[in-house]
Amino acid sequence: MGPFSTMSGKHFYVTTPIYYANDRPHIGHAYTTLLADVLARYHRLLGYDVFFLTGTDEHGQKVEQAARKRGVSPEEHVKEYHRRFKDLWQRLGIEYDYFIRTTDKDHKEFVQKCLQQLYDRGEIVLREYEGWYSVSEERFFQEDELVDGKDPVGHKAVEWISEKNYFFLMSKYQKRLLAHIEGNADFIQPESRRNEVLGFLRQPLGDLCISRPRTRLAWGISLPFDPDFVTYVWFDALLNYESAVAARCYPDGSPLWPATYHLLGKDILTTHSVYWPTILMALGHPLPQHIFAHGWWLSKGAKQSKSSGNAVDPLGYVDEYGVDAVRYFLLRDMVLGQDASFSEEQFKERINSDLANDLGNALQRVHVFLIRSLGGKVPLPPAQSGADESDLKAFTEESISRVKELILNLRLSPALEAVTEMVRRVNRYLEKRAPWQVAKDRDLQEELNTILFTAAEALRC
């Protein structure tokens, strides 16, 4: 059995955040979706049953404001804007299994069903509430969380709001969540993010405001038990991971939920690792297996975002350099857990050295000889070969298992580094065995075949 043989009963359900349908996607959105795509493809290759979910977050204040600014209804706005994500995923070769929109009927019904259950069980209660509200983050902050009087995440203005609202009794679940994170070292990854959440949970946890008065925000899912309110966009959005698969199962009939991996950026770590698991606990549903939060793509030293105006449009790069170059750069240049910066110079340097020089050279050398000396056919494996051949073969096998281990641990940058190292070995092998010399002597045809087979086989792997 080779490394890619089929294994039955292996399941892999991976998600990306559902992106706000308020503007055009940039490199940051492309990165998380690409990461999911690579993991989905790799697991398919390993014989897993894979389900890859992405989509758009279409309710809430941000989307409502974006629609108003354009002078269209929110319905019209999201109908048009969610397409931008679908189009980009197509251009980037992203092969998702399902694209969820939170305005889908099934999703809305699922959210209302969960709300009603929690309300009936006394997990959701009506309260008077006052607090600092950030429109850009769509959530309340405590006084001591503010930085220079602004929200600590996006550093935007906050306003003091006093109103009646429904609360999910999240604080009840603090101890259970803490115990779960402590007992499952790989629940939140990487470790630095896990420590961040553990630190957050050592402070008292508040309850979660899960409604917005319709007078202030109309664009949302109505609370089934009080039509004067709509659902807080995060409560609505997080449930997408479960609503999308509620009516589906793996080919062997087992349910898709819980997800194997939720992939996200560190900006939305708290919502995923505190709000979401406690909501699931209250519902009595299983928790996702792993939550993985990556760092940010920076541009000119700041987080790329639509609002800071430093966002890079991936499409321009795809047009100019091709989709594989873009995919390669993004996955190669962000190291697990850290931020990474994006500039055209870095992009070109990386593509030139790894792809054009190393890989391009190796492929070109082998290809030219196969065409010139063997009519374009890869020769059969040699009956016997020497030490250089055995070395390259052994290195190839080691690389395959190393890459596998790295990818399964979400360490894509070192995995690609291992692949590049492998390519460099092929180049060194070719330099040492010099097929261009061997080809000059007709008596050495067998030796030429050995060299070309060995190099072509290593490149195939």
Nearer to ligand ME8, 243 or 449 (CB): 243
Q: Please pick, from the candidates 14, 32, 168, 188, the single residue that binds ligand ME8 as defined by CB under 6 A.
A: 32
Nearer to ligand ME8, 16 or 211 (CB): 16
Whether the CA torsion 12, 13, 17, 22 is positive or negative: it is positive
Least Å distance, CB 120 to ligand ME8, is 24
DSSP of 252-300, one letter per residue? TS-B-PSPSEEEEEGGGHHIIIIIHHHHHHHHTPPPPSEEEEE-PEEET
Helix (H) or strand (E) holding 16: strand 11-20
Distance (Å, whole) CA 389 – CA 402? 20
The stretch among 122-130, 184-192, 261-269, 396-404 that binds ligand ME8 (CB under 6 A) is: 261-269
Q: Is 72 helix (H, G, I), strand (E, B) or coil?
A: coil
Q: Which residues pair with 91 in a beta bridge?
A: none
- Give Cβ neighbours of residue 112 (< 8 Å, ≥ 6 apart): 221, 222, 223, 224
The stretch among 14-22, 320-328, 348-356, 441-449 that binds ligand ME8 (CB under 6 A) is: 14-22
The stretch among 26-34, 43-51, 190-198, 389-397 that binds ligand ME8 (CB under 6 A) is: 26-34
Whether the CA torsion 88, 92, 98, 102 is positive or negative: it is negative
Interface with ligand ME8 includes 318 (CB under 6 A)? no
Q: Please pick, from the candidates 39, 158, 208, 237, the single residue that binds ligand ME8 as defined by CB under 6 A.
A: 237
Least Å distance, CB 275 to ligand ME8, is 10
Interface with ligand ME8 includes 20 (CB under 6 A)? yes
Question: In 170-260, where do the E strands start and end?
Answer: 188-189, 208-209, 211-213, 222-223, 226-231
The stretch among 90-98, 118-126, 262-270, 379-387 that binds ligand ME8 (CB under 6 A) is: 262-270
**Contact assessment for residue 224 and residue 116, using Cβ atoms and an 8 Å cutoff:** yes
Interface with ligand ME8 includes 92 (CB under 6 A)? no
Least Å distance, CB 148 to ligand ME8, is 22
Interface with ligand ME8 includes 31 (CB under 6 A)? yes
Q: Please pick, from the candidates 49, 57, 137, 242, the single residue that binds ligand ME8 as defined by CB under 6 A.
A: 57
Q: State which amino acid sits at residue 81.
A: Y
Interface with ligand ME8 includes 219 (CB under 6 A)? no
Task: Report 263-282 residues binding ligand ME8 (CB under 6 A).
Answer: 264-265, 267-268
Q: Is 51 helix (H, G, I), strand (E, B) or coil?
A: strand
Task: Report 290-309 residues binding ligand ME8 (CB under 6 A).
Answer: 296-297, 303-305
Residue the block writes with tokens 């006052």: 130
Interface with ligand ME8 includes 18 (CB under 6 A)? yes
CA distances from 358 to 318, 323, 353, 423 (A): 21, 18, 6, 7
First-to-last C-alpha distance (Å) of the chain: 15
Q: Please pick, from the candidates 19, 48, 96, 168, the single residue that binds ligand ME8 as defined by CB under 6 A.
A: 19
Q: Which residues pair with 255 in a beta bridge?
A: 249
**Contact assessment for residue 102 and residue 18, using Cβ atoms and an 8 Å cutoff:** yes
Nearer to ligand ME8, 305 or 413 (CB): 305
Nearer to ligand ME8, 113 or 367 (CB): 113
The stretch among 18-26, 129-137, 139-147, 385-393 that binds ligand ME8 (CB under 6 A) is: 18-26
Q: Hey, how many other C-beta atoms are within 10 angstroms of the C-beta on 41?
A: 16
Nearer to ligand ME8, 267 or 417 (CB): 267
Q: Please pick, from the candidates 12, 28, 212, 290, the single residue that binds ligand ME8 as defined by CB under 6 A.
A: 28
Tokens standing for 156?
Answer: 């935007």
The count of chain residues that interact with ligand ME8, using the rule CB under 6 A, is 21
Give the full edge-to-edge strand order of the sheet including 98-101.
98-101, 49-57, 11-20, 261-265, 290-294, 188-189
Q: Please pick, from the candidates 12, 14, 29, 455, the single residue that binds ligand ME8 as defined by CB under 6 A.
A: 29
Nearer to ligand ME8, 17 or 314 (CB): 17
Distance (Å, whole) CA 398 – CA 411? 17
Interface with ligand ME8 includes 242 (CB under 6 A)? no
Binding site for ligand ME8 (CB under 6 A): 17-20, 28-29, 31-32, 57, 237-238, 240, 264-265, 267-268, 296-297, 303-305
